[in-house]
Chains A and B, each alone.
Chain A
Amino acid sequence: MRSRLFIALLGLAACESRTPSLEEAPPPDPQAAAEAAPVEFAATPPREAPPKVAPTDVRTPEWPAERDEFARSRLTDAARVEVDRSPLPALVVAETKLLASTVVTTGPHWYSATSRDGGLTTTLHGTRLAHQHAHIPPASGRSAVRGQPAFVTENEGIVSAAWVEGGVAYALDVECRDRDDARCHGEGFVVGLASRLVFVGGHGGAR
C-alpha cells in the first residue's frame, strides 16, 4: 500500500502531471503497435556529408506608423537603447508595472523583451529571419491574436501565443511562478496581453 502511494506521489510530481492535457490523456495501451528496434551505433561509422543548414529568408518588416511614446518613456534607458537597435518593430507589453522591468535584447535579425512582475514573467520574441523547411507545409493557427491567425500552446505550464505580423514572426510567452496562477491557464490572458502590445521603436522604425 505504501509503495503504491509512493508511486502515485511520484507520478503526481512528474513532468506534466498537472497539465490539463495529461489529465485528459488516456494511459498507454499495452497492446499498442510493436516497438521498433532501437538504433545502435556501429563501431565504424559511415561518414557522409554533415547536415545542411536550412535556407533562410530575411523578411523586410512593415513598420508601424507611430511609436507609443508613453510606453517608451517608461522603459529604462538601457532598454530604450536596445529597442533602437531592434532590426524589426519592437513591441512591448504595455502594462506599467511590466514596462519598468523590461529587459530588451537584440540580434542581427531578432528582438526579445522580457519583463517580470512578482510571479509573472512575460517574454516577447520576434524574428524577421524565416527558416525554409521545404518538407513543412504552411498552416495557420486556430486562435487569433492582433487580428492574425495564431497558434496558442502550453509548454510545461508556459502559455505561448505565436503569430506573424507585418512580416515578422512574434511569440509571447507567459510563465507563472505559481502553477495555480490563472494567468497561466488557458489562452485568455496571453491573447489579451498580446492585444495590448505597443510599438516602441526599432532600427528603421518611424519616429
Chain B
Amino acid sequence: MNISRRYFLKSGGVAMIGMAALPSFLQRAVAATAGLNKKKMVVLFQRGAMDGLNVVVPFGEPNYYHMRPTIAIPQPKQGGLDAALDLDGFFGLHPSLEPLMPLFRGNQLAIVQAVGSPDPSRSHFDAQDFMESGTPGLKSTEDGWLNRAMQTIPEEKSSPFRAVAFGPYLPRTLQGISPAIAIPDLKQFKMYGPQQTVEGGFEAMYAQTVDHAMRGVGNETFEAVDQLKKINPDTYQPENGAQYPKGRFGQSLEEIAELFKADVGLEVAFLDSGGWDHHVNEGGVQGQLSNLLKDLGQGIAAFHQDMGDRMGDVVFVSMSEFGRTAHENGNRGTDHGHANCMFVLGGGIKGGRVYTRWPGLSEEQLNQGRDLAVTTDYRSVLGEIISKHLGDRDLKTVFPGFANDPRQFLGLVKA
C-alpha cells in the first residue's frame, strides 16, 4: 500500500466527503511507508545571540582575561567545577555544560568555534533571518535552508511529520513549499469536540477553500492529528534513565525523541530557545548565562541518553545569530558581536574535537576591532551535514550563492 492520505485529498472533492470515515488501515499505511531507517537531523536555534566566548572558552588566550575582567571563566583546574572544563588544552567548556563532557570524550560531540554568518548585521532580527533563510545579506529569499533541503524528495511520499518545528510557530528555517508543521505541545495536539464531525468538517473546509494560504495548512494539520492518536503521547517514558530538564526546551527535546521512536516519518526537527541576549549582568561561572547553559547541557545529554543507539542516525546541530563583543561592556554584560560557536552531536560525528581556524583575540585580530572574527561559514558546517549525513543533496539549492566546496568541509561527519 503506497498511497498517502494526502494523495486522496488531492484527488478531488468526491473522495473528500467520506474522508472522515477513512479506514484506519490507510492511515497506518502512511506511517509504514515513511521515514524508516532514514537519517535524521535536529536543529537548535539559540535566539538572542549566545556569548560563544564564555561557552567555549579560549582559556589559552591571555587576551580573553584582559577583555573580560569580571565575567571571564577561569582556567581549568583539576576536578574544579568553578572553572572551564578542559577540552583540548586551549579551549574549555563552560562548567554549566558539564553534562556534555562525556559526549565530547566519547567522541560524539564536536564543537566548531569562530563560526557564523559573514553578514555584518548586528540586528537580531536581520541576522536570524539571514541565518535561517541560508542567504546572508539577501532579504528577498522566501524560504528557509532546511525547507530547501527537504525539497529534493517528492511531496507525495512524505509523512505529515517529516519536518516539524516544536513550538508555536513555523520558523523561517522551515518555511517553504516542502510541507512542514509546527507543534506547540504534543499532548495538546488534538481536536476538541466530536471527532469525526469536527475533523471531517474542518478538513473538508480547509481542503477545498479558495484561500490558498490556508489550504495546505489545514491538510497537514488533520493528517498529523490523525496519526498522533495512535502514539498516545500521554504515556511516553524516556529510556535509559534520561531526565529532561523542566521547561519548554527539555519538553521539546523529549517530544522529538518520542516522535523519532514512534517512526512516524520525522526526518528534520527544529526547536529554539530564547533569552541569550545578555547586555547586563551576564555572569561568569554563575549567573544568567550559566542558568541557560545548565538547561542546554542537561537537555542535550538527556536527549542523547534517551535516544540511545538511535543516535547513530541522528545529527544534532546548534546555532545562534551572532556572537557577542570580545570585551565585556560597562554593565558586566556583552553587546552584539560577530562569530559564535556551534555544537554538532551524533553517532556519525567525529567528535571529541574543537574544530576551528582560530582568529585570535588581539585588537588587530578582532572583527571591526571588537568581536571574534568569523573564520568558518556556518553554511559550510550545515552543508557538510546535509550532504554527508542526510544524503547527497543539491547544496547549490540549499545555500544559493554560496560555493559549498566539499574540500572546505571541516570533516566533522564520518565519511
Do A and B assemble together? no
Using a CB–CB cutoff of 8 Å, the interface residues on chain B facing chain A are none
Using a CB–CB cutoff of 8 Å, the interface residues on chain A facing chain B are none
